[in-house]
Structures are given as C-alpha cells and as structure tokens.
Structure 1
Amino acid sequence: QHYPERCGVVYLINTPVWFNAFWNVVQRLVSDVTRHKIRICPTRKEYAPKLKAWMGGTKYLPACMGGPIVVNGTTDLCADEAKLHGHVDTRL
C-alpha cells in the first residue's frame, strides 16, 4: 500500500513498445509525487547513458550496465536476465 511513497526512484528499463501508450493513460491515476519518481528508458541503447545521468555517474550500476558493482562474484548479471527471459519465452 505504501511502497510507491517509500521508494526514492523507480527505473523502468527496456519497456515494451506498447508501454508508452499504457503509461499515458495510467499516469493520470498516479499522484504527482509518485509519477515524478518513475523514470522510463524504453530502449537498450538509451538506458546506460540515461542511468548514468539520473544516478550521477556509474558507481551504483552493475558491471553489465557499465558500472563497478559485482554481485555474487559475477559481473554478468545480464546473462541471468537472459536466462530468465528464455524461461519466460518457453512458457508463453
């Protein structure tokens, strides 16, 4: 119930083509405070520069997005994401 008000910023990266139309309708139902916390980056080629600008550099980004963060001994978090997408694709 209170999640949107407690979070600092929500980054939506690599959103599908239809998302902008959906967001244009839904954002009218979201409070101004919450709406200003949502940052949308629809394409892969745009997300790295936008994240760097929004976050004030790369120090908080994972290695697969151009930052220094290593999680569980791997710099390739994108491979895990690709594995997840592959699993989802087999279910659809």
Structure 2
Amino acid sequence: MANIKSAIKRVRTNEDHRLQNQSVKTDVRSHIKKVEALVANKDVDNAKAALQTAVKKIDKAVQKGLIHQNKGNRQKSRLAQQVNGLSA
C-alpha cells in the first residue's frame, strides 16, 4: 500500500473510476445483447427501438474514452446490419 498521501488518494480515485467505468461498460454490453436477442426473435419494431438506445450508450462510452472509437463504430454497424436484415 502507498504511504504518501497523494498516492493513497490516487489509489482511491482510480478504484472509484474503475467501478464507474465497469458499470457503464456492462450497461453497453447489456443493451447490445438485448438488440441481438430481439433480432434472433425477429421482433423488428422493438429491435429498432433497442438499437437506438444501444447506439446512444455506445456513443456515450466512446465519448468517455471507455471504448475506442473504431470499436464503437464497428459495434453500431454490426447491430444496424442485423436490424436492417430483418426488415429486408
């Protein structure tokens, strides 16, 4: 354990940020899985609505720097392809 006061504070803030980031990432994954489940059940309307919320969550995670921009774009693209494949 760190002995210096600023190092002790840094350890505490790092842990707080890690927990916050973890919850955001979990939320993003949950929304992605929700869209994929709706696509598997061929529920077009709910899948489109879920896609919108998932895209918002992904964009927010990219904005916060939790996931790389390219990864976020790739996830959004793949989800959109799946949902658009239902309507076609």
TM-score, with structure 1 as normaliser: 0.24
Higher relative contact order (CA 8 A, sep 6+): 2
Quick check: which has more Rg, 1 or 2? 2
Q: Which has the higher helix share?
A: 2
